[in-house]
Structure 1
Amino acid sequence: MNSKIKPSKHHVNTEEHSVFSSRNLWSGFLFGVGLVAFMDEAIFHQLLHWHHFYDKSSTAIGLISDGLFHAFSWFATIASLFLFADLRRRNEWQRARWWGGVLLGAGGFQLYDGTIQHKLMRIHQIRYVENVFVYDLVWNVAAVIMLLIGFSLIFFTMNHKKRRITRSHE
């Protein structure tokens, strides 16, 4: 008699699920960072000319810093898409968890930019105007909203995963 128990088709390998769950989160996080960094660069640096990534020097240094910032955003985006493609190939893409990661990455990067780079390091402002407070407020509130929605999606997927694992062991 064979002593091995065959798993049912609803059996969830918790270790594998945890690895893919983490990859979904990281892929989304990197995509969110890359997306917001790209949008910041394209809109505020290039189209509107509100600031450069580094405004404490000459325009030439500001443009070089923008180029490096742009390269960073693309590296984050491309890395995330390689992870995403692997998840899709393995049929392990978890939409809600991935989007939660996107919002965590986007909101986290935007809040970091708005608080650390704008206020603590003072390497640039959103816009050089007399009342920058309004711009800072909108920038940081939008970041917090993205973070709250992202955390909600991640929390939902954690509870959903726990229900799925409990159901598979019944």
Structure 2
Amino acid sequence: MNTLKNRNIWSGILFGLGLVAFIDETIFHQLLHWHHFYDKSTTNVGLISDGWFHAFSWFATIGGLFLFADIRRKNELSMKKWFVSILIGSGAFQLYDGIVQHKLMRIHQIRYVENVIVYDLIWNIIAILLLVVGLFLLFRSGNMKSEKVVY
């Protein structure tokens, strides 16, 4: 696989990771107030951690879009691989968040309720589905010639 094809994949992964992190931060942190990125301290520390998390999500998203613009400029953009890679990045981030941050590091939970296992299962099953579908489609498309999008 050449470097530009890899950049299609990495661009999508970074964009997907940033997109899902942004959605997580916006919906679960800001709108629903279910948790902060770091809940083992004061509310102020939690809000600061949310700001850093939000910045990280935008750095990943913008980094993915810079790679996207570069491969598009070089006429090597594969939209199929890019969209599939978004699924992979989204699922990978969500699974990492659900397992590492929620359960292993315990820096926050999805929601602080008595029966959190329901939320954990839904969160991680969606993550696994995104990741598996993305990987399946990527490996399925691995043998196809890169369809270039010319603008």
TM bin, normalised by shorter chain, reads over 0.9
Alpha-carbon RMSD: 1.4
Once structures 1 and 2 are overlaid, which stretch shifts more, 92-101 or 71-80? 92-101
Alpha-carbon separation, structure 1, partners of 2:133 and 2:2: 22
C-alpha separation in 1, matches of 2:136 and 2:76: 21
Q: Could you say which residue in structure 1 is the equivalent of 2:38?
A: 54
Structure 1 runs (4+) deviating above 4 angstroms are: none
For these two proteins, the number of residue pairs brought into alignment is 147
Match of 2:72 in 1: 88
CA distance in 2, matches of 1:89, 1:153: 25
Percentage of pairs with the same residue:
65
Pick one of 135, 156, 159 that aligns with 2:140.
156
Gaps of 5+ in 1: 1-16, 165-170
Is the radius of gyration larger for structure 1 or structure 2? 1
| Residue 103 of structure 1: aligned partner | 87
2:59 matched to 1:75?
yes
Task: Report how far residue 157 of structure 1 moved.
Answer: 2.1
| Partner Cα distance (2:138, 2:40) in 1 | 38
The separation in 1 between residues aligned to 2:80 and 2:123, in whole angstroms, is 25
Normalising by structure 2, what TM-score?
0.94
Counterparts of 2:3 and 2:101 in 1: how far apart (Å)? 33
Q: Distance in 1 between matches of 2:112 and 2:67?
A: 38
Equivalent position to 2:49, from 65, 70, 87: 65
Contact 1:96 1:153 in 2 (8 A): no
Contact 1:103 1:150 in 2 (8 A): yes
